[in-house]
Structure 1
Amino acid sequence: MNRFFRIIKKVVLYTLAILLLLSVTGYVYLYVLPKGPEITATRKINAGTDSFVIHAYKESERKSIRVWTYKPETWNDKDKIVFVMHGGGRNADDYLNAWIDLANENNLLIIAPEFENKFSKYTTNDYQEGNLFTFFGSKNPKTEWAYTVVENIFDHIKSVNNITNEQYDIFGHSAGGQFVHRMVMLMPESRIGTAIAANSGFYSLPNENLAFPYGIKNTATDLQKSYKKRMIVLLGELDNDPSLGTFRTTDLAMEQGAHRLERGTTFFNANKELVDKNNWEFNWTIDTVKNTGHNYKKMSESAIKWINTAPNNGNK
């Protein structure tokens, strides 16, 4: 019997040691070792399709990020700048291509950051959840939030290209829609002019008792400021098929609705109810696109009217 317990003890100890080793290795890989493409030489953005790589954080060189751009020949300082946030496929170049004709027709400088992650199928904290928390649940400094990276990119292009615009607009679809609505909620001091969150898979509800990312518990956000930002919750009328894309089916996600269209409506109504209760200013709108499902190209086309009806973000 004693021999049996000794064997069990060894098995338990070995298992714990392996789990500890895996946890340490994972943490070092995710949060200590440098990651990302090689930094490119600093230069101005070329007309047409272009890209550059910079350090994602201002206070650390641990992570780099590739940024895809498209600039029409006619674009000049103070013309509008639009950040385009990719979906869960992390395919920023595809999203950029979807906006080229729109950029030419509407004279827009398109900025499409690529939040590369080899394990994006298994981790969502680093992108659509803003990197507020590590994969292991500990808090990240605000300087390493994904939302801060967008602000850093804006500072970079302003500085390098002698751009004087004080604001930018931002569009995101699917996982990018999650990114955008959470950025508005959690970083209302950002320089976003108009935000368009399209076809998000699920949302952070304005519930301080519900853990993030389903609610805003422990995020210290100021919703009253967030509601002053101009945001459009853009939904596809036919985005009611949960089999399309990556669709979260946890209990808390399913409480928001059976599909993306329903969840977007739930999110908007929950915020509207809170605003009405407190008599706060509310600058959010919900818009449903007819005959459109989970399609980032068609949703991009439908976003243009909101970009064009926004104040010029170069002259704020």
Structure 2
Amino acid sequence: MNKTFRILKKAVLYTFSILLLLSVAGYVYLYVLPKGPEITATQKINNGIDSFVLYAYEGSERKSIKVWTYKPENWNDKDKIVFVMHGGGRNADDYLNAWVKLADSNNLLIVAPEFENKFSKYTTNDYQEGNLFTFFGTKNPKSEWAFTVVENIFDHIKSVNGITNEQYDIFGHSAGGQFVHRMVMLMPESRIGTAISANSGFYSLPDEKLEFPYGIKNTGIDLQKSYNKRLIILLGELDNDPSLGTFRTTDLAMEQGAHRLERGTNFFNANKELKNKNNWTFNWEIYTIKDVGHDYKKMSKSAIEWIKNEL
């Protein structure tokens, strides 16, 4: 009996030690070691497709991020700047290419950050959930939020290129749509003019009893300020097939709806109900694009209408 107990005790201690070692190693790799592409020399954005790499966090060299750009020949200071947020494939260059013709015909400077992560299939906290929390559930400082990185990129572009624009517009599709609607909710002080969240997989509902990212518990969100921002929830009429893309099927996600079209509608209605209850200003809108499914190229083309027509 004693021998069995000793063997069991050793097995438990051994297992615990291995798990602890793996956790420490994982934390060091994800949050301590410097990572990202090599920093590029500071220079002005060239016409056409271009890219640069800068440090993601202000005053820190721990993480770098690649930023793709497209600048039409006739673009000048004060013309529109649009951030384009990629989907779960982290394919910023593909999203940039989808906006090239749109940029030329509407004279837009396109900025597409690339939130590269080798483990993006297993972790989403660093991008579409805003990096509010680490993979292990501990809080990150606001200076390391993914939303703050967008603001840092905007400051960099303004400084290096002598741009005086006071705001930018932002479009995101799928995982990028998640990023955009959460950025509006969590950082209403950001310099976003028009935000377009297209075909998000799931949402952060305005429910203070639900843990983030399904709700807003312990996030400190001031929804009254969030509702002052212009947010367009853009849905594809045919985006009702959960087999397309990466579709979260946890119990809390499925409570939001059976597919993206339903989830987007329920998210908007939940926020509208809250604003009606409190009689708050509400600058959010919802639109459904006919004959379009989970397609970032077609949704990008549709988004131009709201980029061109500011309030």
Hey, what does 1:41 align to over in structure 2?
41
Give 1:60 deviation, angstroms.
1.2
Shift of residue 264 of structure 1?
0.1
**Distance in structure 2 (CA, Å) of the matches to 1:234 and 1:100:** 21
**Partner residue in 2 for 1:120:** 120
Residues 11-32 of structure 1 show CA distances to partners (whole Å, capped at 9, x for unaligned) of 1110000000000000000000
C-alpha deviation, 1:290, in angstroms: 0.2
Quote the offset at 1:2 in angstroms. Answer: 1.2
Contact 1:129 1:179 (8 Å CA) reproduced = yes
Contact 1:103 1:109 in 2 (8 A): yes
Q: Does 1:225 align with 2:233?
A: no
Deviation at 1:188, TM superposition (A): 0.2
Q: Tell me the secondary structure at the aligned position of residue 231 of structure 1.
A: strand
Summarize deviations over 1:246-268 as a string: whole Å, max 9, x none.
00001110000000000000000
Is the partner of 1:292 in helix, strand or coil?
coil
State the Cα distance separating 1:223 from its structure 2 match. Answer: 0.4
Q: Does residue 69 in structure 1 map to residue 69 in structure 2?
A: yes
Kindly indicate whether structure 1 or structure 2 has the higher relative contact order, using CA contacts under 8 Å at least 6 residues apart.
1
Quote the residue 2:247 is aligned against. Answer: 247
User: Percent same amino acid at aligned positions?
Assistant: 84
Task: Please list every run of 5 or more consecutive structure 2 residues that lacks an aligned counterpart in the other structure.
Answer: none
User: 1 CA distance for matches of 2:310 and 2:159?
Assistant: 24
**1:5 CA drift (Å):** 1.1
TM-score relative to the length of structure 2 = 1.00
Distance in structure 2 (CA, Å) of the matches to 1:8 and 1:279: 61
Q: CA RMSD in A?
A: 0.5
Mapped to 1, the partners of 2:221 and 2:59 lie a distance apart of 23
Cα offset, 1:3, TM superposition: 1.2
Structure 1, unpaired ranges of 5+ = 312-316
Q: Which residue of 2 aligns with 1:52?
A: 52
Counterpart check, 1:98 vs 2:98: yes
Correspondence for 1:269: 269
Matched with 1:144 is 144
Partner residue in 2 for 1:18 = 18
Residue 97 of structure 1, CA deviation: 0.2
Q: Specify the code of the residue in structure 2 equivalent to 1:238.
A: L
Q: Hey, what's the Cα distance between the residues in 1 that align with 2:222 and 2:197?
A: 19
| CA distance in 2: counterparts of 1:297 and 1:118, whole angstroms | 24
Deviations 1:210-255 (A, max 9, x none): 1000000000011000000001000000000000000000111000
Distance apart, 1:310 and its partner CA: 1.3
User: Superposed, which structure 2 residues align to 1:272-291 within 5 Å?
Assistant: 272-291=272-291
Give SS of 2:101's match: helix
Secondary structure of the structure 2 residue equivalent to 1:267: helix
User: Which aligned pairs between 1:120-199 and structure 2 lie closer than 5 A?
Assistant: 120-199=120-199
Residue identity opposite 2:152 in structure 1: N
1:271 CA drift (Å):
0.2
Give the whole-Å Cα distance in 1 for the aligned partners of 2:178 and 2:213.
10
Q: Secondary structure at the match of 1:166?
A: coil
Number of the residue aligned with 2:310: 310
For these two proteins, the number of residue pairs brought into alignment is 311
Alpha-carbon offset, residue 59 of structure 1: 2.4
| SS state at 1:4 partner | helix
